[in-house]
């Protein structure tokens, strides 16, 4: 039951010898989601032993080159290694012509279907769901249309406490209620109603986990409420705290702004990246964030963040 | 007086954790020429301490993704670091629409002029020249239109042997003849002619150096004659010797075919790269080539090949 973020690239617009551009892989229960796709993404995947074949879908926050220029090589490679599974790319509408042009030049070897799911929501909206996972996208505040993403495990079915089945002689219908997290109601012989709360009869087997990705963005009023309470928040922190003017002019965030978002949102852990090429020592960024939000971790390329499963009951 | 090849990427179509795709930098007398531009080129440049600002012009052999997908990020970076010097890109005509599309989406930050010099020659033709360097392009034999390049130092002016000036009382006009490499002719009082050969009066200060780049290609009859006698030949060797059928089907070369070209052309040194992802141990490729051409060197990313200046006289 993995829930693991691998940060492939932590440079901002200008890559360096040690930092590729934005790209991350989230592994949820063995399904691999690629989030942004800067140049060098393939190198990052191979270095971290993640086969491009495993990538189930791709989430592109915006079409600035440092978030997308690795995609075309990756799609070509997927073609070369004979992928057949369709690939959905969640991306702004502006991505459409780019994809079309790419396929017109380089589509010959690509035998799998590529579906572009355009994003245009004004507030968080579910874009992907399985029985156990839901992904929502929401708008960010950048120079061009840009989206963040939240990956949430769905609430699991309740486990029924075995000894309560005997104690209350629960019927199959009543067991079904408990599993769905509903209370059991019984009409008693005297016409009264016995309501047994779900917590009496069952328990959540684990706490659902969540990850939010706030790519390039300046702060905006709804941000903290939209990522409220996630276990892990990735937030860009392009600039150090003294460069707030530059961050504002370029629709980016400083370390303290990222930390403030984490604090207001009450997240458990903050991961930062997308460092300006002015200073590539990620510890300097981390230290600034920690003055406001101690649970900050400045990512370097290849860093892995596991969200452990917390078993309950 | 550098003449130095830095191989940035040695993967073929599929990059790996240790190999970027095709890209090389040739430094001739402090002028930097980028030859092919696969994904990861910026990382390669920074790792090898070559600033993108220094790249004078770019030579693209063909538009397959593994030779070109690093270009768009590089051009964006050049824009960000405020390049103003025009950039000429020598590339097949098919590159034109790609560049146009890129600039329509990402051209806003690019304030320097980008000139596309289309290549369409059927035999070697000079495409660039300064007082000391000449670059020619020639067609290769690949699936799509593909070109190789030869960089040659021009023949230097002759140095005049100082003591010969006194010995023959050379006039300024005669000294000019020697510098141009021409013999000196004098009409003698008796009507006869004295011809002094240039070797008597002067000497070439150094042997001009040359580098040829044979990107993706199957062997073809003219190849060896077109790269005849260069000091350093880079030749792709995608496949090992037993895979000649595959090489032929995909218009690539095997190790032995690359070595045979070097041997027939009488080059001084052969460098190979563009290894298939089947086998990434470059020594295996090198050993096969050396059975035919001992002066073969299998490049790994970051390898540097200097052609030393041989001073004469």
Question: DSSP assignment of B164-224, as one string?
Answer: HHHHHT--HHHHHHHHTT--EEEE-TTS-EEEE-HHHHEE-SBPPPEEEEE-S----TTHH
Average pLDDT over residues A257-273: 98
Is B16 in Cβ contact with A43 (below 8 Å)? yes
Q: Is A284 a catalytic residue?
A: no
Q: What is the pLDDT of residue B1?
A: 86
Residues in chain A within 8 Å Cβ distance of B23: none
Is B98 in Cβ contact with A76 (below 8 Å)? no
The mean pLDDT value of chain A amounts to 96
- Please say if the pLDDT value at position B108 is more than 80: yes
Please report which confidence band the pLDDT of residue A120 belongs to, taking 50, 70 and 90 as the band edges: very high
Which residue in A43, A76, A106 is closest to B20 by CB distance?
A43
Sheet holding B210-214, edge to edge: B125-129, B133-139, B147-153, B210-214, B232-236, B269-273, B296-298
3-state SS class at A20: coil
Q: pLDDT tens for residues B120-144?
A: 999 999 999 999 999 999 999 999 9
From the list B28, B232, B27, the residue with the least C-alpha distance to B131 is B28
Say if A21 is an interface residue toward chain B (CB within 8 Å): yes
Please report which confidence band the pLDDT of residue B278 belongs to, taking 50, 70 and 90 as the band edges: confident
Is B106 in Cβ contact with A13 (below 8 Å)? no
- CA-CA distance, B70 to B148, in Å (whole number)? 19
- CA-CA distance, B204 to B128, in Å (whole number)? 23
End-to-end Cα distance, chain B: 17
From the list B265, B224, B256, B226, the residue with the least C-alpha distance to B238 is B256
- Please say if the pLDDT value at position B203 is more than 80: yes
Sheet holding A147-153, edge to edge: A125-129, A133-139, A147-153, A210-214, A232-236, A269-273, A296-298
Instruction: Output the CA–CA distances (angstroms, integers) from residue B19 to A60, B22, B38, B121, in the order listed.
Output: 26, 9, 11, 32
Please report which confidence band the pLDDT of residue B198 belongs to, taking 50, 70 and 90 as the band edges: very high
Average pLDDT over residues B79-84: 94
Suggest the residue from B17, B51, B103 to mutate for an interface test with chain A (most A CBs closer than 10 A). B17
Place of tokens 């090849």: B5
Find the largest Cα–Cα distance for chain B.
78
Residues in chain A within 8 Å Cβ distance of B42: 14-15, 39
- CA-CA distance, B131 to B153, in Å (whole number)? 9
Distance from CA of B61 to the nearest CA of A (A): 16
Is B73 in Cβ contact with A15 (below 8 Å)? yes
Say if A6 is an interface residue toward chain B (CB within 8 Å): no
- Please say if the pLDDT value at position B313 is more than 80: no
Average pLDDT over residues A26-36: 97
- CA-CA distance, B76 to B56, in Å (whole number)? 16
- Please say if the pLDDT value at position A312 is more than 90: no
From the list B79, B110, B91, the residue with the least C-alpha distance to B35 is B91
- Record the tokens describing residue B165, joined without a space: 């000036």
3-state SS class at A36: strand
Place of tokens 């040695």: B10
Q: Indicate the helix (H) or strand (E) that contains A150.
A: strand A147-153
Catalytic residue, chosen from A2, A36, A66, A300, is A66
- CA-CA distance, A211 to A285, in Å (whole number)? 21
Is A63 in Cβ contact with B43 (below 8 Å)? no
3-state SS class at A118: strand
- Please say if the pLDDT value at position B77 is more than 90: yes
The mean pLDDT value of chain B amounts to 96
Q: Put residue A132 in one of left, alpha, beta given phi > 0 → left and psi -120 to 50 → alpha.
A: alpha
- Please say if the pLDDT value at position A1 is more than 90: no
Residues in chain B within 8 Å Cβ distance of A47: 17
Q: pLDDT tens for residues A92-113?
A: 999 999 999 999 999 998 999 9
**pTM for this entry:** 0.92
Say if A73 is an interface residue toward chain B (CB within 8 Å): yes
From the list B90, B105, B175, the residue with the least C-alpha distance to B137 is B90
- Record the tokens describing residue B115, joined without a space: 């000139």
Average pLDDT over residues B42-65: 96
End-to-end Cα distance, chain A: 17
From the list A88, A89, A78, the residue with the least C-alpha distance to A111 is A78
Residues in chain B within 8 Å Cβ distance of A106: 65
Give the other-Cβ count within 10 Å of B218's Cβ. Answer: 20
Residues of B labelled as active-site residues: 66
Task: Give DSSP secondary structure letters for A159-219.
Answer: EEPHHHHHHHT--HHHHHHHHTTPPEEEE-TTS-EEEE-HHHHEE-SBPPPEEEEE-S---
- Record the tokens describing residue B106, joined without a space: 């990402």
Count how many pairs of residues, chain A against chain B, have C-beta atoms within 8 Å.
Answer: 79
3-state SS class at A13: coil
Say if A252 is an interface residue toward chain B (CB within 8 Å): no
How many Cα atoms sit within 13 Å of A106 on the Cβ side?
27
Q: How would you classify the pairing of strands A133-139 and B296-298? A: unpaired
Which residue in A14, A70, A80 is closest to B39 by CB distance?
A70
CA angle B129, B274, A75 (to 5 degrees): 105
Say if B92 is an interface residue toward chain A (CB within 8 Å): no
From the list A154, A145, A160, the residue with the least C-alpha distance to A217 is A145
- Please say if the pLDDT value at position B279 is more than 90: no
Is B76 in Cβ contact with A17 (below 8 Å)? no
CA angle B8, B120, B153 (to 5 degrees): 55
Find the largest Cα–Cα distance for chain A.
78
Least confident of A61-65, A289-293, B12-16, B35-39: B12-16
From the list B34, B1, B3, the residue with the least C-alpha distance to B268 is B3
Which residue in A63, A65, A101 is closest to B101 by CB distance?
A101
Q: Indicate the helix (H) or strand (E) that contains B152.
A: strand B147-153
Place of tokens 């070595």: B259
Q: What is the pLDDT of residue A236?
A: 98
Place of tokens 């495990």: A153
> Positive or negative, the Cα torsion across A250, A253, A255, A257?
positive
Q: What phi and psi values does residue A175 have, to the nearest 5 degrees?
A: -60, -40
From the list A152, A170, A135, the residue with the least C-alpha distance to A56 is A135
Tell me which residues of chain A, numbers 103 to 122, contact chain B at a CB-CB cutoff of 8 Å: 105-106
Residues in chain B within 8 Å Cβ distance of A246: none
- CA-CA distance, A13 to A20, in Å (whole number)? 10
Is B105 in Cβ contact with A73 (below 8 Å)? no
Average pLDDT over residues B31-60: 96
- Record the tokens describing residue A87, joined without a space: 């690939």
Is A46 in Cβ contact with B76 (below 8 Å)? no
Say if A80 is an interface residue toward chain B (CB within 8 Å): yes
Which residue in B39, B65, B97 is closest to A106 by CB distance?
B65
Q: What is the pLDDT of residue B280?
A: 84
CB B308 within 8 A of CB B260: no
Please report which confidence band the pLDDT of residue A280 belongs to, taking 50, 70 and 90 as the band edges: confident
Q: What is the CA radius of gyration of chain B?
A: 22
CB B179 within 8 A of CB B29: no
């Amino acid at each position: 039951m993995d829930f693991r973020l691998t940060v492939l690239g932590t440079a901002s617009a200008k890559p360096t010898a040690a930092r590729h551009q934005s790209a991350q892989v989230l592994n949820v229960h063995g399904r691999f989601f690629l989030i942004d796709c800067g140049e060098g993404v393939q190198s990052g995947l191979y270095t971290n032993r993640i086969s491009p074949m495993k990538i189930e879908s791709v989430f592109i926050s915006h079409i600035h080159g440092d978030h997308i220029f690795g995609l075309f090589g990756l799609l070509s490679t997927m073609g070369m290694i004979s992928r057949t599974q369709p690939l959905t790319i969640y991306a702004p509408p502006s991505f459409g012509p780019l994809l079309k042009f790419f396929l017109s030049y380089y589509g010959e070897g690509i035998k799998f279907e590529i579906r572009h799911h355009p994003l245009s929501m004004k507030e968080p909206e579910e874009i992907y769901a399985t029985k156990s996972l839901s992904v929502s996208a929401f708008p960010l505040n950048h120079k061009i249309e840009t989206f963040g993403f939240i990956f949430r495990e769905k609430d699991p079915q309740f486990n029924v406490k075995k000894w309560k089945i005997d104690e209350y002689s629960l019927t199959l219908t009543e067991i079904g209620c408990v599993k769905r997290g509903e209370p059991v109601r019984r009409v008693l012989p005297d016409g009264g109603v016995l309501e047994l709360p779900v917590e009496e009869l069952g328990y959540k087997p684990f706490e659902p986990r969540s990850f939010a990705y706030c790519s390039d963005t300046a702060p905006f009023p709804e941000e903290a409420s939209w990522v409220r309470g996630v276990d892990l928040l990735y937030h860009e922190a392009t600039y150090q705290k003294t460069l707030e003017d530059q961050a504002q002019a370029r629709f980016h965030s400083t370390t303290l702004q990222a930390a403030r978002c984490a604090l207001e949102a009450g997240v458990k852990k903050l991961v930062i990246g997308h460092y300006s090429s002015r200073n590539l020592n990620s510890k300097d960024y981390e230290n600034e964030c920690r003055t406001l939000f101690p649970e900050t971790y400045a990512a370097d390329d290849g860093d892995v963040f596991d969200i452990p499963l917390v078993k309950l009951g």
